[in-house]
């Protein structure tokens, strides 16, 4: 059963406060020309209004490449990668009007990773010899679904697509290239600096302890209501016996712009439940904005040693203003806290032997991140230049196996009361890149 703890109450209260400000902003907003889902809805509405039977086809895409200098406190290197924050892609949207207000169509979208995605970049057992754990280069299917839309009843879609709660934790009216998700060090192994043994490699990755409980694309059937006074309700059911529901809201008026959403997901096969949301408020006259996100995950594994549900909070603030004639300039800083993800998992380390052995069980995890960045848009050409700095600081507490390190999981055991704080090391990075849309 879901337990509503203090962190959850904080997340819901924060979202509710921002939503209250949104009602002061006034009526619903016009579509954001850079948001693909909004543009898709506009296209459907246009086709529906015309009522013509002729088919329409839209081709879109983008290329997003970045140069990343990373430092895991033991090794450091410069890498070039496809930026997973808004990855390179090529897509096709086809539509045909079946009658007044009734549209049928499809969407196909391919991810383009000519080298590899930044979210797959890693330090590995030998950081000087490897960049990625597997060869993740090439094409991958992001979306492949059909939809039936009626302007009065909403839209039904079926196939590989986003579930209802996808992207609920990364709504942001300010920065286009930074949010609460972990995009650059997700696959990096966290290093230890043992006082006696020196640098030690662990199998614990940053993406395991800094998580935004974001929903992943898969095979789903999804329903979205028509937008009513800025609100849209969505629900989906699909693979891994998963169902979710989400409520989104967008408004624009009296000098304020607002976007937000909140949702719940139940993954029965993997036995976890998520509550999450985000909100973003922008003051048009000054360009000042504030974006925040929060989420909580409860799973059966975390309850093994009596830990509370995992949760995160994220805050980004800055200014986005047209100081230059060719597009908005955005400057921001952010901070995030991620706690108790992967509690109950076994931790393996390599004490300079070249082989991983099981040290013990994770009892408490925390990742504190902060950073800043700047972006410059060239709106007429669809170009965005960006530069960012990131730092992640870990705190990991666990209890060792009963009889010392072992290669066998069923022989670990251990006493949860015998906890140790491990000497985990921080990770930092600087990156510059460009995204070009067409």
The rounded radius of gyration (Å) of the Cα atoms in the chain is 23
Its sign, for the CA torsion 66, 69, 70, 75, is positive
Q: Which long-range contacts (CB under 8 A, 24 or more apart) does 7-10 make?
A: 7/294, 7/296, 7/308, 7/309, 7/311, 7/313, 7/339, 8/275, 8/296, 8/309, 8/311, 10/294, 10/313
Task: Give the model's confidence band at 350: pLDDT under 50 very low, under 70 low, under 90 confident, else very high.
Answer: confident
Task: Give the model's confidence band at 6: pLDDT under 50 very low, under 70 low, under 90 confident, else very high.
Answer: very low
Summarised one tens digit per residue, pLDDT across range 291-346 is: 999 999 988 765 555 667 899 999 999 999 999 999 999 999 999 999 999 998 89
Summarised one tens digit per residue, pLDDT across range 107-159 is: 999 998 765 677 777 776 543 333 444 445 568 899 999 999 999 999 999 99
Q: How far apart are CA 296 and CA 309, in angstroms?
A: 7
Please report, to the nearest 10 degrees, the dihedral formed by the alpha carbons of residues 392, 364, 310, 238 taken in order. Answer: 90
DSSP assigned state of 214: P
Q: How far apart are CA 303 and CA 198, in angstroms?
A: 33
Instruction: Kindly state the percentage of the chain with pLDDT values over 90.
Output: 64
Please state the pTM of the whole predicted model: 0.85
Summarised one tens digit per residue, pLDDT across range 16-70 is: 444 444 433 333 333 333 455 655 666 555 555 555 557 899 999 999 999 999 9
How far is CA 307 from each of CA 97, 311, 312, 357, 437, rounded to the nearest angstrom?
53, 12, 15, 25, 45
| 416 CB-near residues (< 8 Å, 6+ apart) | 305, 306, 361, 363, 399
Q: How far apart are CA 129 and CA 105, in angstroms?
A: 46
Domain ranges within the chain, ordered by starting residue:
6-437
How far is CA 136 from each of CA 132, 207, 299, 434, rounded to the nearest angstrom?
8, 17, 29, 21
- The residue written with tokens 């709660």 in the block is 165
CATH topology of domain 6-437: Porin (2.40.160)
- The residue written with tokens 């995605």 in the block is 117
Q: How far apart are CA 216 and CA 304, in angstroms?
A: 26
pLDDT of residue 305: 59
Summarised one tens digit per residue, pLDDT across range 81-96 is: 889 899 999 999 999 9
Contact 184, 121 (CB under 8 A): yes
The C-alpha angle with vertex 48 and arms to 42 and 52, in degrees rounded to 5, equals 125
The C-alpha angle with vertex 228 and arms to 226 and 229, in degrees rounded to 5, equals 155
The values of phi and psi at residue 97, to 5°, are -80, 125
How far is CA 224 from each of CA 15, 130, 158, 162, rounded to the nearest angstrom?
21, 43, 12, 12
């Amino acid at each position: 059963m879901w337990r509503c703890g203090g962190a959850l109450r904080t997340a819901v209260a924060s979202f509710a406060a921002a939503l209250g400000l949104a009602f002061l902003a006034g009526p619903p907003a016009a579509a954001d020309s850079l948001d693909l889902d909004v543009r898709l809805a506009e296209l459907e509405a246009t086709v529906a209004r015309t009522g013509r039977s002729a088919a329409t086809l839209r081709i879109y895409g983008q290329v997003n490449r970045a140069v990343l200098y990373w430092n895991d406190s033991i090794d450091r290197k410069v890498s070039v990668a496809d930026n997973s924050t808004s990855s390179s892609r090529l897509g096709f949207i086809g539509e045909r009007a079946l009658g007044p207000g009734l549209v049928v169509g499809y969407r196909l979208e391919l991810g383009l990773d000519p080298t590899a995605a930044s979210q797959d970049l890693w330090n590995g057992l030998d950081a000087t010899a490897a960049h990625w754990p597997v060869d993740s280069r090439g094409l991958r299917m992001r979306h492949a679904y059909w939809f039936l839309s009626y302007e009065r009843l909403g839209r039904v879609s079926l196939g590989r697509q986003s579930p209802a709660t996808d992207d609920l934790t990364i709504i942001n009216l300010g920065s286009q290239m930074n949010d609460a998700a972990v995009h650059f060090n997700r696959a990096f192994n966290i290093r230890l600096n043992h006082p006696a043994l020196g640098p030690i490699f662990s199998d614990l990755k940053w993406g395991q302890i800094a998580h935004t409980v974001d929903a992943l694309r898969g095979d789903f059937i999804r329903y979205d209501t028509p937008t009513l006074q800025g609100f849209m309700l969505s629900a989906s059911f699909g693979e891994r016996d998963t169902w979710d529901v989400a409520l989104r809201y967008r408004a624009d008026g009296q000098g304020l712009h607002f976007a937000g959403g909140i949702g719940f997901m139940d993954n029965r096969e993997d036995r976890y439940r998520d509550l999450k949301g985000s909100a973003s408020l922008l003051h048009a006259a000054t360009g000042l904005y504030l974006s925040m996100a929060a989420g909580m995950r409860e799973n059966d594994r975390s309850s093994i040693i009596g830990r509370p549900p995992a949760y995160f909070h994220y805050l980004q603030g800055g200014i986005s203003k047209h100081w230059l004639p060719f597009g908005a300039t955005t400057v921001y800083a952010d901070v995030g806290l991620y706690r108790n993800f992967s509690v109950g998992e076994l931790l393996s380390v390599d004490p300079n032997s070249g082989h991983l052995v099981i040290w013990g069980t994770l009892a408490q995890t925390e990742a504190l991140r902060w950073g800043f960045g700047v972006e410059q848009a060239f709106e007429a050409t669809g170009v965005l230049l960006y530069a960012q700095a990131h730092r992640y600081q870990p705190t990991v507490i666990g209890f060792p196996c009963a009889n010392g390190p072992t290669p066998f999981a069923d022989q670990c055991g251990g006493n949860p009361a015998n906890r140790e704080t491990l000497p985990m090391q921080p990770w930092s990075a600087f990156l510059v890149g460009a995204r070009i849309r067409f």
